[in-house]
A and B are shown apart, each in its own frame.
Chain A
Amino acid sequence: MADTTTRAKLRWGLIDVIVVVFALVPVLWIASLSFKTPATLTDGKFWPREWTLDNYKSIFDTDQFVRALVNSIGIALIATLIAVVLGAMAAYAISRLDFPGKRLLVGVSLLIAMFPQVSLVSPLFEIERQLGLFDTWPGLILPYITFALPLAIYTLSAFFKQIPWDLEKAAKMDGATQAQAFRRVIAPLAAPGLFTTAILVFIFCWNDFLFAITLTSTERARTVPVALSFFTGESQFEDPTGAICAAAVVITIPIILFVLFFQRRIVSGLTSGAVKG
């Protein structure tokens, strides 16, 4: 018995290692490239022979990247905030109330999530140009919210369903209004769900390339993934690979910070002890 558990542990450990290596090697490769000098860029060594920070200096020297970073952070944060707030309200209604059109609402939001985004790019481009939203922050925030909402609603309604309804009834009996019950009892318990959803939505907005490249044309609203594709060297003979890699490393940092910051709040088993069992 003990023998099999050790072997099972070893087997699982091995599988875990393979998965982690598989996922991390490209990331580390990019990080390694970002520290290499142009001369050693193509030497095929995993560990840089000559370390340099020139690539990082160069991307922050140009206004292009910094401006895009500001756009990215601003657009992603605003879109996340709005999507999570709207999604929370919709999810709360879906998980708690029986209202006419509930199935339709769920169905439509699923439909939006499944709709191929690439087919919407041209119409959106035309619409936004007509409305004057093209190449503005709202011009990206709006489609992001649209496509993030189904995700938010689905994740959040799953979380809300886990919260025992009795808690809300108990709060009402204890003298709370509907708003107080939501704020003081339900919301703290749904916090892990809110943070999880926020992370997912933020990553979706942060990583988007399709909308960002179609619906922007200048530095006014261009986000980092798009700005990266516009990177060129100092001269046409210079290879921008190092700079692109440095920028790629830089734009993963906010995501890592975001996840680490919220992960501490995602405490599993937060609702244990509320009801029996």
Chain B
Amino acid sequence: MADIVLDKVSKSFPDGTVAVQDVDLEIADGEFVILVGPSGCGKSTTLNMIAGLEDISSGELRIGGQRVNDKAPRDRDIAMVFQSYALYPNMTVRENMAFPLRLAKLDKATIDQKVDEAAKVLELTPLLDRKPANLSGGQRQRVAMGRAIVRQPKAFLMDEPLSNLDAKLRVQMRTVVSRLQKKLGTTTVYVTHDQTEAMTLGDRVVIMRGGAIQQVGPPQELYDHPRNLFVAGFIGSPSMNFLHAAVEDGKLRTALGDVPIGDRIRRELEGADAPRELILGIRPEHFEDAELIDDEARARGMEFTAPADIVESMGSDKYVYFTVEGQRASAAELEELAADAGADFSGGGGNLVTRLSAESPVQEGEDRRVWFNLEKIHLFDPSSGRNLTLHEGRSAGTLGD
């Protein structure tokens, strides 16, 4: 067991493309860290550099305090679980799991004992004599995990280990991975493109984009206090609503009405080079049916009326999609997120996703009065993507002073 430190680690390829740029990351001993981001953000390259499968162009990588830049994967004492599982098809499950131990030249009795132990933890005992071809996807995945845990390495690296499983099994395996990591207490770096996995699994989440770290923190912190537009849009499902907001007469003119701003934001916006156009972000759960709001809450928010397009009842709450007029919010980050999601981004001027209480009597097609919480609003600079509402790492809405 050991800590992993990435000190200004970069990866550039001979053709000049930079896959990872100056990544600084300290992973504590026993910590579960998730690297997340859209495809091509450099998360897998970072993982491969920690593994030793990819050379480090510059910077330093330390595992357990030791510089390992030039060490071969086999000398780093870390185990990896691959997205494709990469089981040896010519070996049985037992041989697969014993392979790292045999290479480490342990004696047969110890190998058997360790394999049996690991098999028991992962409930693989009845499958030990089968070949990978005769296993289901979930079983193969567990064998791949077994092969990793069997030799008690300093750290686990997992490269999208669950993405080949079907949705139900993925949720189930998520808890298996989580429980296993807690039980073994081994430092783990886990790569995924699925923000739900990132939110639910990790002690800390690292969000990457274009080879650079955007924000590092516990899942809730990333959710509540995103540092920039990209993080805000990436984390959360359904994702945050983004609306165009114009700064006029000390107010923000938006499709939801004129939003008042507090002293601190006003001071920020008074600067000479301050943007005149902003992007307003608000999460679906910070809306509520105006009928269901008490007076105290009403004072903290604002209301608007809009036609409800679609109502999706989830049982515990309702997802209601509204059409609002107004200009589209546009920024490079939003387009990138949309491209990654494989769809056109329905930012401002389009649909607004809200999550209302299940008690709301809202009907499709009717105009509905909706309340939203001003304390939960984020404002972003469209050119830099910076979250203007963030003050000392906390976001306090537009009214913060």
Contact = CB atoms under 8 A, between A and B. Distances in A.
Answer whether A and B are interacting partners. Answer: yes
A273 B80 contact: no
A172 B84 contact: no
Given A174-B147, A175-B74, A164 B104 contact: no
Contacts of B80: 169-170, 173
Contact of A172 (B72, B104, B134, B135): B72
A275 B73 contact: no
A3 interface: no
Interface stretch (B86-94, B185-193, B228-236): B86-94
Contact of A176 (B74, B134, B135): B74
B140 interface: yes
A264 interface: no
B102 to A, nearest CB: 9
B106 to A, nearest CB: 11
Given A174-B99, A180-B103, A274 B132 contact: yes
B88 A173 contact: no
Nearest to B105: A175
Interface of A: 164, 166-167, 169-177, 180, 184-185, 188-189, 269-276
A173 B84 contact: no
B74 A167 contact: no
Nearest to B157: A173
A185 B89 CA distance: 9
Given A172-B74, A274-B132, A275-B85, A188 B90 contact: yes
22 contacts: A166-B83, A166-B84, A170-B82, A170-B87, A170-B147, A172-B72, A172-B74, A173-B78, A173-B157, A174-B74, A174-B99, A188-B90, A270-B89, A270-B90, A271-B89, A274-B84, A274-B86, A274-B87, A274-B88, A274-B89, A276-B84, A276-B137
B207 interface: no
A172 B73 contact: yes
A269 B147 CA distance: 23
Contact of A273 (B74, B104, B134): B134
Interface in B74-121: 74, 78-80, 82-90, 99-100, 103-104
B339 interface: no
Given A169-B51, A274-B84, 19 more contacts: A164-B84, A166-B82, A166-B86, A169-B53, A169-B86, A172-B53, A173-B80, A174-B99, A174-B103, A175-B103, A176-B74, A177-B72, A188-B90, A273-B89, A273-B133, A274-B85, A274-B86, A275-B87, A276-B83
A171 B87 CA distance: 9
Contacts of A273: 87, 89, 131-135, 140
Contacts of A188: 90
